[in-house]
Every structure is written in structure tokens, then in C-alpha cells.
Chains A and B, each alone.
Chain A
Amino acid sequence: MRSGTYTVVFVSAVVIVCSLLLSTAATLLRDRQDRNEALSKKQSILQALGVKQKMDGPAIDSFFADHVELFAVDLEGNIDAEVDAEQLDMEVEDKKTEASSRRYPIYRCTMENEVVYCVPIIGRGLWSKLYGYLSLESDLNTVKGITFYKHGETPGLGAEIEKDWFQDNFLGKKINDQTGAFVSIEVVKGKAADAYAGNEEKLSHAVDGISGATITSRGVTKMLNEDLTKYVPYFKQLEAD
């Protein structure tokens, strides 16, 4: 049996060697990892914008440089040019006690004479946070696309939010009613067509739910309502102009 001192020294040595190894690896790989993160975010924005073709890293960057602007808006609907919108984190902004100091990022994409707006959406599902993007056509009412790029929901149930069938449901849905008031979009239980049969108005704000994933569906409804609300003042100003 070895002495206690030997054990302590040995274990310390092992731990120091391991941590040195790991911190070196983490430092060396950080740049590549950050770039991958950023690219994957941009990719999901592109998907939300309805850009179908597959692009590699440089192509994505040049597409963003040519077509996409990112800026920050406050809850009154004014653009704040002084904030670096790249650094904005919706969750951090939500926690700021003074609502007037919150700034939210929004993407404007100009493609073939068409302007599309894209906003981040963040909410809670059953197990995890859901991260995604929603884009609106230039009428600021019709949904152009939606994506979820990060979540930890159950495969086959809640994780269906990342599937095409679920996301395609949103295409063409309206976030405003006929008078122009904001009503958001609801993920219903079961089929939207059954839930609101014959009610065209309601149907234009409803999408099919995921069976077996009621809480995830409800989470999506809630995050759409809460996050889109933040941008409604800005949309109203755009319309007024």
C-alpha cells in the first residue's frame, strides 16, 4: 500500500497533465469551432429566408455580405444604430430590468427586388430551449419560412419541429388579422384544418400540431407570440413610412 502523500502527488500530476492537454486543444480549436457555430447560424437564417440551394462557407459569407443587413431595434420600433447587433443576445436582452434599454436583432434580406425580414425566436419546449428563426415577406404579415437550429427535444416527437413537414406548415400563414392587428400564429392540437374547419380567418393563423408533443407545440406557440411581439412596433413603423 502506497502512502497518502504519494497518492495525492500522483493524482495531482495526472490531473495537471490532462488539463494542460485539454486547454491547449481547446485554445487551438476555438477559432474553427466559432466559425462553424456562426456558419450554422447563418445557414439556418438562409433556410428561414427560403434560400434553397446548398452553399459552402465562403458562398454563405458572400451572400450575407451582398444581401443581408443586421441591425438592432428597440421595443418602440426605432432602429438603434449604436448597438452592435452581432453581439445581441435575445435572452440577455429579455432579462434587462428596464424594458426601454432592450435591443433586439433583426435581419433584412434584399433579394431580387423582394425584401424579407428575419427575426430570431427563442423559447422553451418540453426538455430544452428551442432556438430558431422566422422570416416574413415584405408585407410584414405573411410567413416566408421558419427554422429551428438548436433544441433537445425527443426524436420522433418534439424533435419533429426541425422537420420539413412541420416547418412547411407555416409557409403563407399570417401573423396579423384582417384589420392589421397582431395575433401571432398558433400551433393547434391535431390538424389545423379540423380545429378551425370553415373558419378561414382562424385557419390563416394556425398550423398543425405534433401528435405526442403537446408541450413542445405549446412552447412554439408561446415563443412566436412573445418574440414577434417585440418586433411589432418596428413593423408598424415600417408600414407607416
Chain B
Amino acid sequence: MADATETAEPLLSAKNRKTFKDPFMVNNPITLQVLGICSALAVTAQLKPSLVMGIAVVFVVAGANVTISVIRKFIPVRVRIIVEMTVVATLVILVDQVLRAYAFEVSKQLSLFVGLIITNCIVLGRLEAFAMGNKVWPSFLDGLGNGLSYAAVIAIVGFCREVMGFGQVFGFRVVPQALYDNLGYTNNGLMVLAPGAFIILGLLIWVQRTVSGHVED
């Protein structure tokens, strides 16, 4: 199994750095591939659940990528999707159990959306497209990059929604009370609901594609 190139290639070679960095801008899973939208809408009403969800996804994508990459040469092709799903499901249940033990309030807020990471297309997508055909270290970087870029996007959405929908960040009031009392400012109720996330995501995709110059065929 140990090919010569595995040890010869430096850990942070240009190619590996590209593997890690690409998902953030050039090939972002949410804003470019438009994957994982369901959870991006569901859990982003506030910043804290968004961040926890982001961390959970980073763990699952990176963990699944590494595991599958390690056993990729032994997986019978005909049952590879089943094996991939088993590994992903195991990691997701682990995350869910740990959250319920150590972050009960957040896990209640996230409820079934942690379980739904199993169906997050980003996870299976990375396994099929990358981990099945690449070595362990690049697969880890790829998983980390994709997970973190997902986390970054939903954190931005969560931040915008919490500020506009609740006037808070992490539960602390940032919009001054005087604004509510004297100027008749009210929180934007639309931001609390799923359409608010759609609007923010749409704007993010617009900004991202303007910067990267990506055009849909």
C-alpha cells in the first residue's frame, strides 16, 4: 500500500494547499455547488447553533474522508455507497450523542438536523469525488476544507440572521435598546424564518460569483 510518493510529497505542497483552499472560494460547496442548502436554511436562525452545526459537519466530512480513504482499496465497488453511508451514519450518531451529553441546549435547538447531516450531499459528494480516489492526507485536507467552508458560509448566514432577526449576537444585544424605545426600530421577523436565510444565501452567492467570476453554463 505504501507508495513512494506518499512520503515523498511534502505535507503542505502546492497541490495539497490547493485541495484545502479551493472549497472556500473557487469551489465552495454551498455558494457554488449549491449543496447542503436544507441544513443551511434550517439551523441558521442564530449564530450559536450555526457554529455548532458547522463544527459537526467539519468533523463528519473530515472523519468520513479519512476513514474511507484508508479503506478505499478494500471496499468492494458494488457496495461502496452502503459502506460510505455506514461510516457517515456512525460519525453522525457519535456527534449527536456527544452533543446531547455536552451541549444539551444547542442539541435541542438543532434537534433532527444533526441526524440529517447523513443526508447532507456535501459529505457523500466528497467521499465519492475525492476520498475514494485519493490518499489519506489529501483526503483529510479536502474534508477539512469543505467542512470549514460550509461552516463559514452558515456562520455568516447565522450572524446576519441573528443581528437582523433578534438584534443580538450570541444572545447578547448589539442593537441598542434606545433604538427600539425611541426610534421605533423593530426586529425583522422575516429573518427568523427560512425565507430570510434564502435571501442572505442568495446575496452571498451573488457576491461570491461576482468576485470569482464564475458563470453558470
Interface residue ranges, A against B (CB under 8 Å):
1-2, 6-7, 10-11, 14-15, 18, 21-22, 25-26, 29, 32-33, 36, 39-40, 152, 155-156
Contact A14 B97, beta carbon cutoff 8 Å = no
> With A14-B87, A36-B104, A156-B192 as given contacts, are A29 and B79 in contact (CB-CB < 8 Å)?
no
Contact A33 B193, beta carbon cutoff 8 Å = no
Bound-state Cα–Cα, A14 to B87, Å? 8
Contact A32 B102, beta carbon cutoff 8 Å = yes
Interface string of B77-94 (1 = CB under 8 A from A): 111001100110110011
Contact A14 B101, beta carbon cutoff 8 Å = no
Bound-state Cα–Cα, A14 to B89, Å? 12
Residue of B nearest to A19 (CB): B90
Contact A33 B97, beta carbon cutoff 8 Å = yes
Does B173 sit within 8 A of A, measured CB to CB? no
Bound-state Cα–Cα, A1 to B76, Å? 8
| 7 pairs, CB–CB < 8 Å, chain A vs chain B | A14-B71, A18-B87, A18-B89, A22-B94, A25-B97, A25-B98, A155-B193
Does B74 sit within 8 A of A, measured CB to CB? yes
Contact A26 B97, beta carbon cutoff 8 Å = yes
> With A7-B78, A36-B101 as given contacts, are A14 and B83 in contact (CB-CB < 8 Å)?
yes
Count, chain B residues at interface, CB 8 A:
26
> With A18-B86, A21-B90 as given contacts, are A2 and B97 in contact (CB-CB < 8 Å)?
no
Contact A32 B101, beta carbon cutoff 8 Å = yes
Contacts of A25 in B (CB 8 A): 93-94, 97-98
Contact B100 A15, beta carbon cutoff 8 Å = no
Residue of A nearest to B93 (CB): A22
Bound-state Cα–Cα, A166 to B82, Å? 46
Contact B193 A156, beta carbon cutoff 8 Å = yes
Bound-state Cα–Cα, A40 to B108, Å? 10
Contact B86 A15, beta carbon cutoff 8 Å = yes
Contact B75 A29, beta carbon cutoff 8 Å = no
Contacts of B193 in A (CB 8 A): 155-156
Contact B98 A29, beta carbon cutoff 8 Å = yes
18 more A-B residue pairs beyond the given contacts A10-B76, A40-B108, with a C-beta to C-beta distance below 8 A: A1-B77, A2-B76, A7-B76, A10-B75, A10-B79, A10-B83, A14-B71, A14-B86, A18-B86, A21-B94, A22-B90, A22-B93, A22-B97, A26-B97, A29-B98, A32-B101, A33-B101, A155-B193
Smallest CB-CB A-B distances: 6 pairs:
A36-B104, A32-B101, A29-B101, A18-B90, A7-B76, A2-B76
CB distance from A213 to the nearest CB of B (A): 14
Contacts of B89 in A (CB 8 A): 18
Residues in B92-134 with C-beta less than 8 Å from chain A: 93-94, 97-98, 100-102, 104, 108, 111
Residue in A10, A14, A33 whose beta carbon sits within 8 Å of that of B100 in the complex: A33
Contacts of B192 in A (CB 8 A): 155-156
Bound-state Cα–Cα, A216 to B134, Å? 51
Bound-state Cα–Cα, A10 to B87, Å? 13
Contacts of B78 in A (CB 8 A): 1, 7
Bound-state Cα–Cα, A195 to B28, Å? 53
Contacts of B75 in A (CB 8 A): 10
Residues in B157-209 with C-beta less than 8 Å from chain A: 192-193
